[in-house]
Amino acid sequence: MTAVRREAFGRMPPEEGGGEVEKFVLQSDSVRVEILSFGCIIATLETKDRDGQFSDVVLGFDTLEGYMRKHPFFGAVVGRVANRIANGRFSLDGKEYQLFLNNGPNSLHGGAKGFDKVLWSAQVLPNGVRFFRLSPDGEEGYPGDLKVWVTYTLSGRELAINYQAQTSKTTPISLTNHAYFNLAGQGSRDVYDHEISIEADSYLPVDDTKIPTGEVAAVQGTGFDLRQPVELGKHLQKFHLDGFDHNFCLHQGQDRRLVARVFHPPTGRTMEVHTTQPGIQFYTGDNLDGSLKGKGAATYPKHSAFCLETQNWPDAINKPHFPNVLLHPGEEYNHTTWLVFSTA
């Protein structure tokens, strides 16, 4: 059984419309998660270690003010298009669209005010919560009125995140959740002792602004071969890597499949990622620099968390050979990602 509770979390400032932000607490025997109606943010995710002790394994803030300030998308749903679009530009049906540039020369995670920075309406479900918003035609430069539903459900050890959308005009869409994990517990110094595997035979090399070059490269014989578990710290050293911020290309298909697994030997915590999406961005928190004060006054230095963002491939709108990123009127965007927590 999952218990669901809703409570007040804070108020938006008057200049942002002053709406009330709620927190939804989903609790099973083995997982407790807190989700905000602001940005659909996973603010807390507590899971057991092998001794049955709960720890919060996601980075974030204690108050709404923390999330209102500039931060690297902790726990949020990002969109309309997750990841980067080169030069913030694309053309569609003979029309050019220019987006806001918020990541060097590129547009990242929806632009200046993406889905992570807005209030969603919420509906409590027996085992979770469903959020809804209408992204109006032209918001952040994107075409079409886009209706979006994000549904979190908790069942035992498994947190499911379902994304659905419908549009009035053809638009690119790629939604993900940007939670930062540390299975030792948030506020722990690094994730070097985590063992990770990703079920991908290929990945996308990127240019110096993190835009895919267009090549789909085999992982075989490279530092990107994570098909067998590697201990992260040793692996980065062995291949002289500063970290990961890359899309791994998953086996295509609409069915649920296991795509990544992370194991933390000291605590026994294990997290599996299952998804219907064609890609997963593995990011090792390279841009964290210890300047943000997080939950319980924790600081978050470089490599103190990892992200496994299930999504379409970055810049797919400008790369015809990448998986289709367009949603047409009359169609439904529908993807699910499952996070499964256990101990070993």
Tokens of 179: 């939670």
Give the per-residue SS3 of 277-335: CCEEEEECCCCCCCCCECHHHCECCCCCCEEEEEECCCCHHHCCCCCCCEECCCCCEEE
pLDDT at 17: 86
The answer to whether 83 is a known ligand-binding residue is: yes
pLDDT at 317: 98
The answer to whether 80 is a known ligand-binding residue is: no
CB 318, CB 107: distance < 8 Å: no
Cα(271)–Cα(49) distance, integer angstroms: 11
Q: Where are the domains of the chain?
A: 3-343
pLDDT at 42: 98
pLDDT at 253: 82
Q: Which residues contact 309 (CB under 8 A, 6 or more apart)?
A: 82, 83, 176, 177, 178, 280, 281, 283
pLDDT at 76: 98
Instruction: Say which amino acid occupies 184.
Output: A
Nearest-5° angle of CA 155, CA 157, CA 163?
A: 55
- pLDDT by 10-residue block (mean), the chain, 344 residues: 97 92 98 98 98 98 95 97 97 96 95 96 98 98 98 98 98 98 98 98 97 98 98 98 98 92 98 98 97 96 98 98 98 98 96
- 279-283 vs 245-249, strand pairing mode: antiparallel
Catalytic residue among 140, 303, 309, 335: 309
Q: Which CATH class is domain 3-343?
A: mainly beta
The answer to whether 261 is a known ligand-binding residue is: no
pLDDT at 16: 86
pLDDT at 107: 95
Cα(342)–Cα(344) distance, integer angstroms: 7
Cα(271)–Cα(130) distance, integer angstroms: 23
The answer to whether 180 is a known ligand-binding residue is: yes
The answer to whether 193 is a known ligand-binding residue is: no
pLDDT at 272: 98
Cα(77)–Cα(176) distance, integer angstroms: 6
Q: Give the H/E segment covering residue 64.
A: helix 64-68
Catalytic residue among 109, 178, 274, 303: 178
DSSP 19: P
Q: Which residues contact 287 (CB under 8 A, 6 or more apart)?
A: 72, 302
pLDDT at 33: 98
pLDDT at 234: 98
Active site residue 178: yes
Cα(167)–Cα(57) distance, integer angstroms: 35
